[in-house]
Every structure is written in C-alpha cells, then in structure tokens.
C-alpha cells in the first residue's frame, strides 16, 4: 500500500549522489531508490547516471533528485550540492571531487572496513553526519552485492524514506530476472540497515 511521504524540506529538492566504480551497482541502486519514492511513496523523483567510460572499474556517478508530489522536476543537471553522498568504494574518498559540494549538514555514507577512517573525510565540515558500513564484507557473506547493503544503510539513515517500500522495490527488481538473488539481497539490505557505524570527531 502506497503512502505519502514528506521530505525534510518540502519547499525544495532533496538530492542524493552516488559515487562509485563500474560493477558495484550504483546505477541499479539509484533506479531502485527513485522508483520506490515515485511509485510507492507519492514523491516526484528523477534518476540518471554518468559514466567515465564503458569499462568495468571506471568512475560512475548516479544522481537522485526527489521533490514533493506537487513540485515538478524540470532539470536533469548533475547534482553539485547533495544532501547525501553515498560512496561505494572507500578508495574514492582520496579524490576531492567525490565529496565536493556536500551540504554542511548533509550525510556521507561510505563503504569501508571497521576502524577505517580515510584521510579524505578530514575535508568535511564537522557538522556532516558520517556513516561507515562494510558493504563489501556483508555482500560477500550474504552472496549479494554491495549496492543491496548500501541501499539498506541509506534507508535507515533517512527516516523519511520508507524502508519496507524500498526493500519491496529491491525484491521486485530481481524477482523476475534473478529470483535466486531475492533472499540474499534481502539479508544484505537488512544487515546494511543495522550494521553501520556513525563516525565522530572527523572534519574541519
């Protein structure tokens, strides 16, 4: 059953940028979040991605722009001042462009092992909420992919997103083409929503 969802700032857009490399599923993750928001939560939304090249391992950026149901989205410009940045590979934090433009009170979610605090995080304002999750480890253990884990973490980090509806969209996405992956993705999603760490005392 669909329900109407209110954005944190109902007068503007809520913008999410995924920073990844090819093969980790950032584009698919963006499609799932945007589809859940539009089809199940009553929001307006758009999603698109940009690719460094067609090679696996090249830089991928995926953009999600959400708005209240009564506000049209008439731009497809890249997101330069995101409310949330999700980094699918912690190594990308070495590049300033990965976190460029994130709002001072925004949220950064990054993939990394326990205890790893990359130097790149020191460029963030101290008001930024920083969340670490070992998406790669969880994905391997659950025979899933990092994007399922990170979708779960994102859903848990943003209370206005309906976690159950996002999970249902994730399941629906794979039930037709890869039904064998549905259970593994659900486990990875739930662990991503629970097994994350808030990082304190980082930034300028």
pTM of structure: 0.91
The set of residues, in sequence order, having a beta carbon less than 8 Å from that of 13 and lying 6+ positions away, is 65, 66, 67, 73
- With a CB cutoff of 8 Å and minimum separation 6, the contacts of 81 are 15, 101, 102, 103
Q: At residue 168, does pLDDT exceed 50?
A: yes
Per-residue pLDDT at 25 exceeds 80 = yes
Higher pLDDT, 104 or 132: 132
Report phi then psi at 72, rounded to 5. -75, 150
Cα–Cα distance measured from residue 146 to residue 155, given in angstroms and rounded to the nearest whole number: 14
Residue of 95, 87, 98, 63 whose CA lies nearest to 199? 87
Name the packing angle between helices 182-194 and 163-175 (round to 10°): 150
pLDDT on residue 88 = 96
- Band (pLDDT 50/70/90 cuts) for residue 1 is very low
Q: Nearest-CA neighbor of 8 among 165, 136, 157?
A: 157
CA 178, 184, 187: angle at the middle one, nearest 5?
145
Say yes or no to pLDDT of 10 above 60. Answer: no
**Alpha carbons 51 and 184: distance in angstroms, whole number:** 27
Q: 183-194: per-residue pLDDT in tens? A: 999 999 999 999
- Average pLDDT score over the chain: 89
Average of per-residue pLDDT across 45-63: 81
pLDDT in tens, 60-98: 999 999 999 888 898 889 999 999 999 999 999 999 999
pLDDT tens string 91-122: 999 999 999 999 989 999 999 998 878 888 88
pLDDT for residue 7 is more than 80? no
Residues 159, 34: Cα–Cα separation, whole Å: 16
């Amino acid at each position: 059953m669909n329900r109407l969802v209110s954005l944190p700032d109902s007068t503007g857009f809520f913008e999410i940028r995924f920073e990844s490399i090819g093969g980790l599923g950032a584009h698919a993750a963006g499609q799932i979040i945007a589809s859940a928001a539009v089809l199940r939560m009553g929001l307006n939304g758009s999603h698109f991605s940009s690719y460094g090249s067609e090679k696996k391992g090249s830089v991928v950026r995926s953009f999600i722009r959400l708005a209240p149901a009564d506000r049209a989205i008439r731009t497809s410009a890249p997101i330069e001042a995101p409310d949330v940045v999700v980094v699918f590979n912690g190594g990308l934090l070495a590049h300033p462009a990965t976190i460029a433009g994130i709002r001072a009170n925004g949220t950064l979610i990054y993939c990394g092992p326990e205890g790893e605090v990359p130097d790149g995080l020191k460029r963030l304002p101290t008001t930024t909420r920083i969340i670490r999750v070992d998406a790669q480890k969880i994905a391997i253990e659950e025979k899933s992919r990092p994007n399922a884990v990170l979708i779960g973490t994102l859903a848990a980090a943003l209370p206005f997103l309906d976690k159950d509806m996002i999970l249902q969209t994730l399941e629906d996405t794979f039930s037709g083409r890869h039904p064998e992956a549905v259970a593994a993705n659900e486990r990875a999603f739930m662990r991503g929503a629970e097994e994350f760490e808030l990082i304190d005392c980082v930034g300028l």
